[in-house]
Structure formats: C-alpha cells, structure tokens
C-alpha cells in the first residue's frame, strides 16, 4: 500500500482519537507526513513486515510495533528495526536497477504492457459504443 496514503490515514485516525503505528520502508515519505509512531524496516518495498516465509522475524517485527505503540513518549517517534534483508546489503544497489544486462528485457515488458493497455482501452470503447 502507498506509504503516503497510509500515513495520511494514520494522521486522520490519530486526530479522531485512534492511536496508530505505521510499519513501512518508505522512511522519507512517512516521516514527512508526520505520523506519531513509525516502525521503519530497511527492506525493499513490498516487504514491510519482514522477509517472506520468515514468520519468526515477522512476529518479532510485530512485537516491536506493539512496544512502540505502548512506549512512544514523544510525537513523531521513529524506531528502526535491527533486521537486515541480506548480509551484503546488496538489495539497495540492485533494487529497480536498469543496466545493459536487463535493459532490453525491461523495454520489451514495457512495450507489452503498453500494448495490453491500448487493447483494453480500445475494447472498452467498443463495448460502450
């Protein structure tokens, strides 16, 4: 889910008296929105609660979120989890990277997506007309 949307919803809920904790990996976005409590996971987008198929890490992450919920004493408190995605931290360099090794494949996927969108748009016009 969109970090900004979740953060703005959390602020709205807080204003209505419902306490919240945001868990996510978009630190700059969430902190800019000014949520009261934020548990930051330094993981690739789409993995805000831990590595897939690692229920122990996920339970620990939830435990940290509950601790933050109970113990945050200042507004706009951010806590970073101690977890790492991989030992080499290489995901940051590889995440959404386009280079000579994958440029052609991404260009092909983009063209296929644009064609599919064009077809869907044209099919919608044909049905409604």
* CA 118 to the chain's CA centroid: 29
Predicted confidence at residue 88, as pLDDT, reads: 57
Q: Among residues 45, 41, 46, 22, which one has the least CA distance to residue 32?
A: 22
Q: Residue range 108-117: average pLDDT?
A: 93
- pTM, full prediction: 0.69
Residue 93, pLDDT > 80, answer no
> Comparing 91 with 84, which gets the higher pLDDT?
84
Predicted confidence at residue 98, as pLDDT, reads: 83
Q: Residue range 15-37: average pLDDT?
A: 92
pLDDT over 90 percentage in the chain: 54
Q: Residue range 54-82: average pLDDT?
A: 94
- List, in order, residues 6 or more apart from 26 with CB less than 8 Å away: 3, 4, 45
Q: Residue range 72-85: average pLDDT?
A: 90
Predicted confidence at residue 44, as pLDDT, reads: 84
- List, in order, residues 6 or more apart from 19 with CB less than 8 Å away: 13, 36, 37, 69
Q: Residue range 105-109: average pLDDT?
A: 91
User: CA-to-CA distance for 115 and 32, rounded, in angstroms?
Assistant: 37
Domain positions in the chain are: 3-87, 98-129
Q: Residue range 63-68: average pLDDT?
A: 96
Burial class of residue 61 (count of CB atoms within 10 Å of its CB; 0-12, 13-18, 19+): buried
């Amino acid at each position: 889910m969109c970090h900004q949307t979740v953060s703005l919803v959390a602020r709205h809920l807080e204003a209505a008296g419902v306490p919240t904790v945001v868990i996510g990996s978009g630190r700059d976005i969430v902190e800019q929105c000014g949520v009261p409590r934020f548990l930051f996971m330094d993981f690739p987008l789409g993995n805000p609660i831990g590595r897939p198929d690692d229920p122990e890490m996920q339970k620990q992450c939830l435990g940290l979120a509950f601790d933050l919920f109970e113990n945050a004493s200042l507004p706009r408190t951010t806590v970073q989890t101690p977890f790492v995605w991989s030992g080499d931290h290489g995901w940051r360099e590889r995440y959404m990277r386009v280079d000579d090794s994958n440029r052609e494949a991404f260009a092909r996927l983009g063209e296929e997506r644009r064609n599919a969108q064009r077809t869907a748009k044209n099919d919608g016009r044909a049905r409604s007309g």
